[in-house]
A and B are shown apart, each in its own frame.
Chain A
Amino acid sequence: MSLRRRATQDLPAAFIIAALLALLWLGLAEGEGWWFGGPAILAVVLMTLHLSPVRAQPLHPLGLLRFVAYFISQSLYGGLDVAGRALHPRLPLLIEKRQIAVQLPDGPARTVLVGTISLLPGTLAVDLEDDLLTVHGIAGDPMANIRRLEKRVADLFGLPDAGMRI
């Protein structure tokens, strides 16, 4: 791929990385020292695009919004659920371990899936080998929860989920 083509393809990703770094600088330096922060951000963006082995994947804005809302509400529910179980006198745990075939394509989508599984109610990511995900569950229906999360992650990256078995 020519350098010019790569540059135009990566432009949206470059803007997003630059925006996030600018927010971080604003937070850490309290809005001062942009003469240093600005060039540093530019250098980091260029280096990231040059060195990253992963192709930047565009996020779907509506999918992102829905994913964040889902993540926050489910995090709260998951925290309440596990706190309730920990404090319950009889310690009610429905322990099960399942292997599930992941339907999302390899790459960032899978990373997000495995990263969020452990923060959502009743599920913990244990292992991912090729397409086979091992999940440990203590509550609810882990299979159904993972399938729902997969659909949200597919939305996040604007991937079609028509072929996915739900």
Chain B
Amino acid sequence: MLTDWWTIALVTVGCAFFLAGTVGLLRFPDVHTRLHALTKADNVGLGLICLGLMIHDGTLPGILRLGFIWILAIFAATVSAFLIARWHESAGTED
């Protein structure tokens, strides 16, 4: 089935973004740069994985569930990134 190939392609590329985000987490020099890697790469990675699974699922409730998962996860990601960045700034800790 053609749709299966779309699902495989999207989920694979999504996983590659998660991998790149993790590499950034390990290689980037300090808290702020690491947050850049996690928020942006994971947002795209999860978005692509959810999109791939939406195509695979194909039912309205399933598509809605996956959409909510993506939106709620990026909400949590951006808010927690802001809180960690602000905490790091005010704590003035060494990197």
Contacts and interface: CB of A to CB of B under 8 A. Distances in A.
Contacts of B52: none
A127 interface: yes
B43 A79 contact: yes
Chain B interface mostly helix, strand, loop or mixed? Answer: helix
A119 B17 contact: no
Contact of A124 (B35, B45, B79): B35
Interface string A129-154: 00000101010000000000000000
A138 B24 CA distance: 12
Contacts of B32: 95, 97, 124, 126, 136
Interface string A75-100: 11011111111110001010101000
Contact of A27 (B23, B65, B85): B65
A119 B43 contact: yes
Contacts of B29: 93
Contact of B24 (A75, A83, A114, A124): A83
Contacts of A31: 60-61
A138 B33 contact: yes
B10 interface: no
Interface of A: 23-24, 26-31, 75-76, 78-87, 91, 93, 95, 97, 114-116, 118-122, 124-127, 134, 136, 138
